[in-house]
Amino acid sequence: MTSARADRGRFARLGLHRAIDFALHLPLRYEDLTQITPLRGLVPGVSVQVRGVVSATDSGPRRGSNLTVRLFDGSGEITLRFLHAQPWIRAVLLPGRTILAHGLVRGGLFGLEMVHPTVRADDEGAPLPDRLMPIYPTVAGIGQSALRTAIRSALREADLGETIPPDLIRELAIPGFAEAIKSLHTPLPADVPPEGEEDDRQSPPWRRIILDELIAQQLALARARSARDQVGAAPLRDDAMERRLLAKLPFRLTSAQARVVSEIGGDLGASRAMHRLLQGDVGSGKTVVAALAAARAIGSGWQVALMAPTEILAEQHWLKLRPWLEPLGIRVAWLTGSLRGTEKRAVRAAIASGEVDLAIGTHALVEETTAFPRLGLAIVDEQHRFGVAQRLALVGADALRAHLLMMSATPIPRTLAMSYCADLDLSVIDELPPGRSPIVTRVIDAGRRDEVAHRVRQAVVDGRQAYWVCPLVEESETMDLKDATETAVWLSDQLPDLRVGLVHGRLHASDKAKVMADFQAGEIDVLVSTTVIEVGVDVPNASLMVIEHAERFGLAQLHQLRGRVGRGSAASACVLLASYPMSAVAKERLGIIRDTQDGFEIARRDLLLRGPGEFLGARQSGLPMLRFADLERDVDLLEMARRIAGQMLGDKAGQAINVNRHLDRWLGGRTALATV
Ligand code: ADP
Ligand code: MG
């Protein structure tokens, strides 16, 4: 016998600690042991319980060998097969004994059979249960019967009291929480649709539980938001510097940009910290919006940090923003992990003394040793690349009082925006700058690389430039590098008259910068690269993008890469070199990218292919994930959850206690994470 303490240790592996955790550990499916199906009526493909007498066994009592048993009930017969049958199974399956067996019926070599059914002796003919038998999700070493026992006793202990206002329960005609939980653990046969017929998570008790899970998420995000609001932030109201920058720009803002700039300006002027997500497809012009926000903050006497996920991207910002901002008297600094120790210390000192107005860099900016005495605004570019955890880290520490602007080219589908990002305000640039031409996308067999090399030459002859991207090889950075290096050598052989450049992650930062600057200046015709250029690089004269092993890339990556071209007036193209055979999903991805250029549509399809956790990079972040809700299927519940959460939070008098109980029930010890 195992002790209760050992059990607790085991159950912790399933995330089960408190009684309520057990109560919320809901069955995957059920076994119907409430009735017995006569052997004559059996058909392959269904799971049933049968009862009969063991007529013959075909193997000796040797332990570990296979066992085959015939069972008959007067109406028909069936074969039961066990591989490496345990002694206790042999002890039950003796000829002449009456047994119950439950399992999936299938057509075998010798007629109908069940492989590894659950069996028990039934010589007495014990009464059948009237409820279904739950089968729980579990891990190796934790058996169903131990789980069932633990859950049964937890259901008696747990607080299953109602947290949703009773009038709402009546109005929405949903079951009570306790009722829903109990009926999911031990339903009557009539409560559950037959196997495979429909999604049983659409049943009223399931919908009630999913609704509660979504309400918990909404409440947690709302809490996080109000915690931030209570801290407050400096209002950034002086827009003289911003207006000077606007007047100097070489182009006019699109109306979408102008709208977004004014949304951000409104937030910055308030004394509660902005938390805004700026979404705009690749090439929609987010950088200038960030620059205007930075100018306003600096003009109001505050410092700004601009953080990008990669060094190359940070560098692009550095190259772009300095010529815009330095003439206005703004002091811009550069801080990344690859700076030498002494340089880093000098930059940090300049930031700490307030000499620096704008610091551009990578995550080195949020390390503890970087202290901004007057941080007014933090900007995070391509925020999806940081994951939710870093987003929260940035909000923490001394940045808590700063306004926060996040930018993302990965459009977040509405349902995700409403759930995972519900604590953020959203601005969308839904318009590209004028003069863009569409990009023609083709999937070409990798065997035809030579022809593609000639297209590259043609583009260069026409006065354009090209990218040639090699994929990341996950296991080995060295392989990755070899691919790109070999490709660069091969291309120089094929196109001896062209200037071929190479950039990859292992290059020293200053060399990387030199290559990028040369490409920008048109001194390199073809830039061979690993995925370091994935996001944000901006060279309008480049009109051709070639992607090697396109089948290895994700949808968002392909869309990002393709977005590097089509930025100038020239007709642009993207060639996806594909190697066969490839998986069905890879094929589907290439088809989607070939046929659509709409970032939102691509994101929607991506979400369908990958699921929300991976999509947002939330999996590794530890942010509470949804266990039961499916944001595609349960949109209506999400809307309902928002409404109910709003009502619960708004009702000062009665609901605060229920809000706490609800959050505690669903998030338990994890609430701290949700309230950063
Ligand atoms: P992204 O949104 O992908 O970060 P960028 O900010 O890099 O896009 O902008 C893409 C290109 O479009 C840049 O060269 C930028 O200078 C240019 N651009 C931005 N806004 C406009 C505009 N309103 N009119 C013309 N060009 C613009
Ligand atoms: Mg960008």
CB atoms within 10 A of CB 56: 10
Single-letter amino acid, residue 567: R
3-class DSSP assignment, residue 414: helix
Q: Is 222 contained in some domain? A: no
Whether 24 and 39 map to the same domain: the answer is: no
Residue nearest ligand 1's atom 17 by CA: 285
238-266 pLDDT tens trace: 999 999 999 999 999 999 999 999 999 99
Determine the Cα–Cα distance for residues 131 and 151; give it in Å rounded to an integer: 16
Whether 69 and 122 map to the same domain: the answer is: yes
Whether 342 and 393 map to the same domain: the answer is: yes
Average pLDDT estimate for 296-309: 94
650: its two tokens: 């708004």
Whether 170 and 310 map to the same domain: the answer is: no
Helix 255-268 and helix 286-299: axis angle, to 10°? 30
Q: What is the 281 CA–ligand 2 centroid distance (Å)?
A: 9
Determine the Cα–Cα distance for residues 558 and 565; give it in Å rounded to an integer: 12
3-class DSSP assignment, residue 120: strand
Determine the Cα–Cα distance for residues 422 and 641; give it in Å rounded to an integer: 12
Best probe residue, ligand 1, of 287, 320, 561 (max atoms within 8 Å of C-beta): 287
Least confident range of 355-359, 365-369, 376-380, 590-594: 365-369
The response to whether residue 540 sits with its C-beta less than 6 Å from ligand 1 reads yes
Whether 99 and 166 map to the same domain: the answer is: no
Whether 462 and 422 map to the same domain: the answer is: no
The response to whether residue 255 sits with its C-beta less than 6 Å from ligand 1 reads no
H/E element holding 211? helix 204-231
Residue nearest ligand 1's atom 26 by CA: 433
**Which pLDDT score is estimated for 566?**
87
Residue nearest ligand 1's atom 5 by CA: 285
Best probe residue, ligand 1, of 261, 284, 379 (max atoms within 8 Å of C-beta): 284
Q: What is the 341 CA–ligand 2 centroid distance (Å)?
A: 28
Q: How many domains does the chain have?
A: 4
State residue 205 phi and psi, 5-degree precision. -65, -40
Q: What is the 287 CA–ligand 1 centroid distance (Å)?
A: 7
Average pLDDT estimate for 325-354: 92
Q: What is the 584 CA–ligand 2 centroid distance (Å)?
A: 31
Q: What is the 29 CA–ligand 1 centroid distance (Å)?
A: 52
**Which pLDDT score is estimated for 618?**
40
Determine the Cα–Cα distance for residues 157 and 599; give it in Å rounded to an integer: 49
3-class DSSP assignment, residue 213: helix
Closest atom, ligand 1, to C-alpha of 429: 2
**Which pLDDT score is estimated for 197?**
58
Q: Is 460 contained in some domain? A: yes
Whether 291 and 415 map to the same domain: the answer is: yes
Whether 18 and 47 map to the same domain: the answer is: no
Q: Is 637 contained in some domain? A: no
Of 164, 166, 177, 168, give the one whose Cα is nearest residue 204: 177
The mean of the pLDDT values for the chain is: 84
Is 419 within 8 Å of 626 (Cβ atoms)? yes
**Which pLDDT score is estimated for 475?**
45
Q: Which ligand is nearest to the CA of 251?
A: 1
Give the range of the structural domain holding residue 186, as residue numbers without chain letter. 2-28+137-199
Q: Is 183 contained in some domain? A: yes
Whether 169 and 94 map to the same domain: the answer is: no
Percent of the chain with pLDDT over 90: 46
Q: Is 62 contained in some domain? A: yes
Q: What is the CATH number of the domain that holds 495?
A: 3.40.50.300
Residue 88 pLDDT grade (very low, low, confident, very high; cuts 50, 70, 90): confident
Q: Is 221 contained in some domain? A: no
Does the pLDDT of residue 11 top 60, yes or no?
Answer: yes
Determine the Cα–Cα distance for residues 330 and 314; give it in Å rounded to an integer: 18
Best probe residue, ligand 1, of 407, 427, 429, 538 (max atoms within 8 Å of C-beta): 538
The response to whether residue 433 sits with its C-beta less than 6 Å from ligand 1 reads yes
Residue nearest ligand 1's atom 15 by CA: 285
The response to whether residue 567 sits with its C-beta less than 6 Å from ligand 1 reads yes
DSSP 610-654: H-HHHHHT-GGGTPPPPSS--TTTTHHHHHHHHHHHHHHHH-TTT
Whether 287 and 398 map to the same domain: the answer is: yes
Closest atom, ligand 1, to C-alpha of 538: 7
Least confident range of 6-10, 350-354, 471-475, 587-591: 471-475
Residue 363 pLDDT grade (very low, low, confident, very high; cuts 50, 70, 90): confident
Is 112 within 8 Å of 81 (Cβ atoms)? no
Q: Which of 581, 596, 611 is the last residue of a domain?
A: 596
**Is pLDDT larger for residue 657 or for residue 655?**
657
The response to whether residue 288 sits with its C-beta less than 6 Å from ligand 1 reads yes
535 contact partners, CB below 8 Å, separation of at least 6? 309, 310, 313, 382, 385, 409, 560
Q: What is the 433 CA–ligand 2 centroid distance (Å)?
A: 14
Q: What is the 283 CA–ligand 2 centroid distance (Å)?
A: 7
Q: Which of 78, 111, 128 is the last residue of a domain?
A: 128
371-397 pLDDT tens trace: 888 999 999 887 655 544 455 555 444
Whether 360 and 282 map to the same domain: the answer is: yes
586-628 pLDDT tens trace: 999 999 999 998 887 887 788 777 665 555 444 333 344 578 8
Least confident range of 29-33, 319-323, 364-368, 515-519: 364-368
Q: What is the CATH number of the domain that holds 115?
A: 2.40.50.140
Whether 160 and 270 map to the same domain: the answer is: no
382: left (phi over 0), alpha (psi -120 to 50) or beta: left
Determine the Cα–Cα distance for residues 502 and 417; give it in Å rounded to an integer: 38
Q: Which of 543, 563, 596 is the last residue of a domain?
A: 596
Q: What is the 282 CA–ligand 2 centroid distance (Å)?
A: 7
Q: What is the 433 CA–ligand 1 centroid distance (Å)?
A: 7
Does the pLDDT of residue 465 top 70, yes or no?
Answer: yes
Q: Which ligand is nearest to the CA of 291?
A: 1
Q: Is 630 contained in some domain? A: no
9: its two tokens: 């240790």
